[in-house]
Amino acid sequence: MIPRLPTAVLSRSLLSRSLVGSSLPSRRRGFATSKVACKSAVVTGAAQGIGKAIALRLAQDGFDICVNDLEGNSSMVEDVVNEIKALGRNAVPAYADVSKLPQVEAMVETSVNSLGPLNVFVANAGIAQVKWTMDSTEADLQRLFEVNFYGVVYSDQVAARHFIKQGSGGKIINAASAASFRPFLMAPIYGATKAAVRSLTQSLALELAKENITVNAYAPGIVDSPMWETIDEELMAINGLPKGENFKSTKKTIALGRTSVPEDVAKMVSFLASPDSDYVTGQTMLVDGGMVFS
Ligand code: NAD
């Protein structure tokens, strides 16, 4: 639930706008005729998995895409760039570690220099770890929070500063998780980073509403991606189940009876990046086939 705003903030951000009845600007009342018209988006961690599916889906929606990942994944990034170009959109690679603020700044600069004004920033990059809290070291905590939380904070800050400079609003979309809502087996610190992303998404939505910037997050459940291949292998080493069985065994916890594919998540991000979500902010949208009922 969004906390009540002080009246001063309300009057600045909401009450001063005429959002009711006949005073509504006509563009807010109708439906957009097309999803986007020549806009650009940055997607972090887009060499593979969910980020790649988001980059391709947003390209299909009409966005030009800045494809980010770590430099070590440059050949996969180049493949994604080429796939986007084959779809008839423009794309540029941007190698950056999202846990390093100057690199995030340089990435947005690369995007804007190559693709023009920025409209959407998808802070997707993340890492997972299979370890109980009692076994987690200082280095484990540091790396998980640096990538999954600091990386999202830096991404959101840089994107928001850029949107404010451009003066035409924008959409920030963060990678949360079903683990933002409840604990998952052997992922306590990962879950804490994702709960932090959900909290940040709510707070930033309040902070940036007056700039016409929406801030939302997506919360996948169990997605068939390279991340889950690693999780499955790590669980296999602990409980001895055959390869793939830990992943498959999650099905029984999902109401729709199947695990998901990256494209399931990309569909939600497509909505959050489109004008159809203009009146949605501060939300973390579960895309989990019915695992967490929030
Ligand atoms: P993945 O491991 O398959 O891909 C993540 C990508 O992020 C990789 O290409 C990796 O190189 C990149 N990356 C990692 N650290 C980076 C950094 N510091 N800077 C830039 N790029 C970096 O993971 P995925 O399954 O596609 O997950 C994408 C996001 O969705 C993550 O934030 C993850 O936590 C979240 N998520 C995934 C699942 C799932 O079941 N796979 C569930 C819930 C949430």
The DSSP H or E segment spanning 271 is helix 262-273
**Domains of the chain, CATH where assigned:** 36-223+261-287 (3.40.50.720)
Q: Going by DSSP bridges, is the β-strand pair 170-175/91-95 parallel, antiparallel, or unpaired?
A: unpaired
If you average pLDDT over every residue of the chain, what do you get? 91
Q: 48 CB under 6 A from ligand 1?
A: yes
The per-residue pLDDT for range 151-207, each reduced to its tens digit, is 999 999 999 999 999 999 999 999 999 999 999 989 999 999 999 999 999 999 999
What is the predicted pLDDT for the residue at 18? 31
Mark whether 279 is an active-site residue.
no
Average pLDDT over residues 265-273: 98
Q: Is 227 in the pocket of ligand 1 (CB under 6 A)?
A: yes
pLDDT at residue 176 in the model: 98
Integer Cα distance of 234 and 274 in angstroms? 37
Digit-coded pLDDT (tens) for 89-125? 999 999 999 999 999 999 999 999 999 999 999 999 9
With CA atoms as reference, report the closest residue to 97 among 161, 155, 160: 155
DSSP state of 209: G
Residue nearest to atom 28 of ligand 1 (CA): 50
* Residues sharing a CB contact under 8 Å with residue 269, sequence separation 6 or more, in sequence order: 54, 57, 58, 122, 173, 218
